[in-house]
Amino acid sequence: MAVQISPSILSADFARLADEAARVENVADWLHVDVMDYRFVPNLTLGLPVVESLLKTTSTPVDCHLMIEEPDRWAPDYAEAGAGSVTIHAEAAKAAVRTLRAIRAAGARAGLALNPATAVEGYEDLLPEIDMLLVMTVEPGFGGQRFLDIVLPKVSRARTLIDKYGGEVWLQVDGGVSTETIERCAEAGADVFVAGNAVYGADDPARAVEELRNLAERATPPA
Ligand code: DX5
Ligand code: ZN
């Protein structure tokens, strides 16, 4: 799978989201939207109405990362609204298989996210139900946190499980991904890279995306 970069608008200016999305249009593969509900994580961001408005202003596919307590209830709505990818947390879902199937049925790619303390082992039987596995490389909730190196062995184990399964499942990393850390993520087998601060904290977000992409491509092991 080719390297993909998904800038997180969590580090963008929320009052100017359309402009901020435009700054990475035609450069980024996805626009990563962090939905937080003050319950699953100690932060509150935005919900479906904002995602619906954003979808109207950008041609970049939207990658919704739901850090919410009730993904089973809300995730299908994001897919129906037109998000290209909807990711739910394994720790929050009570009926993950049903919800992942509902996301796919609504026409989006289905993602499953794992917090740093959640083992990937035990989720391998769900690989046929997902299009992307998200391994969190920080505790979810805030942008600009320090990358957790301790998660890298899990990224490698996830890569091994996905390769053994043989289907097309993307492996995303999210949290603290920067020019300092992206190569280690790529070496461990990640192929979709979320970056908030590293993109929107840069003077030129589009250039930051290209820089991250080049580093990840050079560090990706040959197939
Ligand atoms: C954290 C979010 C991330 C966040 C990443 O809970 O899921 O998507 O925006 O931001 P950086 O890249 O700044 O760590
Ligand atoms: Zn995220």
pLDDT, residue 169, reads 98
Region 140-145 average pLDDT: 98
In the set 34, 37, 63, 191, the catalytic residue is 34
Distance of alpha carbon 4 from alpha carbon 8, whole angstroms: 13
What does each C-alpha distance from 165 to 99, 129, 171, 197 come to in angstroms?
A: 21, 12, 13, 33
pLDDT digits (tens, 9 = 90+) for 11-70: 999 999 999 999 999 999 999 999 999 999 999 999 999 999 999 999 999 999 999 999
Atom of ligand 1 nearest to the CA of 144: 13
pLDDT, residue 1, reads 78
In the set 29, 63, 131, 174, the catalytic residue is 174
The answer to whether 32 is a known ligand-binding residue is yes
The answer to whether 82 is a known ligand-binding residue is no
pLDDT, residue 110, reads 99
Q: Decide: 7 in ligand 1 pocket, CB within 6 A.
A: no
- This model's pTM is above 0.85: yes
pLDDT, residue 207, reads 98
Q: Decide: 111 in ligand 1 pocket, CB within 6 A.
A: no
The answer to whether 8 is a known ligand-binding residue is yes
71 closest CA partner among 151, 161, 134, 138: 134
pLDDT digits (tens, 9 = 90+) for 146-189: 999 999 999 999 999 999 999 999 999 999 999 999 999 999 99
The domains of the chain, with CATH numbers, are: 4-219 (3.20.20.70)
Mutate to test the pocket of ligand 1, among 6, 8, 86, 139 (most ligand atoms within 8 A of CB): 8
Tokens 């080049």, located at residue:
214
pLDDT, residue 223, reads 81
Task: Name the pLDDT band for 137 (thresholds 50, 70, 90).
Answer: very high
Q: What percent of the chain has pLDDT over 70?
A: 100
pLDDT, residue 118, reads 98
> Within 10 A of 171 (CB to CB), how many other CB atoms are there?
22
Q: Decide: 212 in ligand 1 pocket, CB within 6 A.
A: no
Q: Decide: 189 in ligand 1 pocket, CB within 6 A.
A: no
Tokens representing 78? 């994001």
pLDDT digits (tens, 9 = 90+) for 99-126: 999 999 999 999 999 999 999 999 999 9
Q: Decide: 195 in ligand 1 pocket, CB within 6 A.
A: yes
pLDDT, residue 124, reads 97
pLDDT, residue 203, reads 98
Nearest-ligand number for the alpha carbon of 145: 1
Q: Decide: 197 in ligand 1 pocket, CB within 6 A.
A: yes
Region 73-84 average pLDDT: 98
What does each C-alpha distance from 220 to 39, 47, 173, 184, 217 come to in angstroms?
A: 36, 34, 14, 9, 5
Distance of alpha carbon 4 from alpha carbon 10, whole angstroms: 18
Distance of alpha carbon 8 from alpha carbon 145, whole angstroms: 13
Atom of ligand 1 nearest to the CA of 145: 14
**Closest Cα to atom 4 of ligand 1:** 143
Query: Any catalytic annotation for residue 34?
Result: yes
Distance of alpha carbon 66 from alpha carbon 89, whole angstroms: 7
148 closest CA partner among 137, 157, 159, 140: 137
CA 33, 83, 13 angle in degrees (round to 5)?
30
